[in-house]
Amino acid sequence: MDFSFTPEQLALRDEIAKFARQELNAELPSRDREEVFSRENWLKCARFGIHGLPFPRELGGSDADIVTTMLAMEGFGYGCRDSGLIFGINAQMWSVQMPILQFGSDEQRRKYLPRLCSGEWIGAHGMTEPGSGSDAMSLSTTAVRRGDRYVLNGSKTFVTNAPVADLFVVFASTNPSQGFLGVTGFLVEKERSGIRVPRPIAKMGLRTSPMGEMVLEDCEVPAENVIGQEGLGSKIFNASMEWERSCILASYLGAMEHQLETCVAYAKSRRQFNRPIAKFQSVANRIVDMKVRLETARLALYRVAWLKQTQDEAVMDAAIAKLYLSEAWVQSCLDAIQIHGGYGFTTELGFERDLRDSIAGRIYSGTSEIQRNIIASRLGL
């Protein structure tokens, strides 16, 4: 494995970090408090090229390889303090754009990917239902073929970007008797009759990323909007989740590095008992643990990038990286608060917002428990 980066890759990471720091953090505390999604910042990121990083140039992307993309997203997380915005963009890239690229028809790619990469459209992914979460394939949403179209009925929940989405990737059962082999993916435009988003869902964290329910009531979708073919839904979903687990937490590497640097600077400047608190072993050791977790997470994540780039698959390693990095991010937030003491507990420094946002990483793209199940299954357990 070669984890060295080219000067061009490092320059891109630094350029994205600078852009994010200068353009995306204004008024974040109030946007977080009031649960405001910034369409302006979404478009800024799209124009900068973030949404299209690993997608073909002819479809509005940049043709970046996965290592370059991960490094760029790490820089994004270093400069941007808005974890909700980062999460929403990642959700679209890996669970909407990537399924279209990998499994969609040429017509679907040409129709949707340029709009999504440019920020003109926002995409959402509908799999989870009120009665099915970790057991994703036990869904009850149905799709019945009638001539040249399908009629969809059912409901989805915890749909990231749903209140602002223009396009939904929806999974429904076209043959319930076949279980997961009867699940099919559909591209459903917001303007279709029979689709509605009744209410946004208030959340503990990631509050600048809108989430909602989606209800399908006799929603007619043209047959050409099937992704791939009937019964391919399970494969599409698993492939998109592998990409999401591989890449969605890359930004947290940057965020953890930013936290670490902030804590080091504070520990050197903050004095108690006539010396910097960095000289107290309890503080220094906590910072050391933050550094060890950061570098371990980095190695795990870039191993996944290397595997996907050279072998095109990294199921177990993606699960390992997702499990470790999501847990490490939570602990990093707790350590940053503890090092800053009373100041860390206030809203002014933003660590409490980071902590609230970090908890979701242990749940989305498969809970920590599901990642352990994946790893166990790959070990033959």
Active-site residues, by number, are: 244
* Nearest Cα residue to 100 out of 209, 38, 32, 186: 186
Distance CA 276, CA 290 (A): 19
Distances (CA, A) of 83 to 37, 76, 148, 205, 215: 12, 10, 42, 9, 27
Helix (H, G, I), strand (E, B) or coil at 240: helix
Distance CA 52, CA 324 (A): 27
Cα-based torsion angle of the residue sequence 238, 239, 245, 249 in order, rounded to the nearest 10 degrees: -140
Distance CA 255, CA 260 (A): 9
Distance CA 24, CA 239 (A): 31
Distance CA 281, CA 284 (A): 5
Distance of CA 379 to the CA centre of its chain: 26
Helix (H, G, I), strand (E, B) or coil at 113: helix
Q: Strand 275-276 and strand 195-196: pairing? A: unpaired
**What are the residues facing 187 on neighbouring strands?**
169
| Helices (H), ranges, 215-314 | 233-247, 250-269, 281-311
Distance CA 3, CA 124 (A): 33
Q: Are 220 and 257 in contact (CB under 8 A)?
A: no
Distance CA 161, CA 87 (A): 10
DSSP state of 276: E
Q: Are 192 and 219 in contact (CB under 8 A)?
A: yes
Cα-based torsion angle of the residue sequence 345, 349, 352, 355 in order, rounded to the nearest 10 degrees: -130
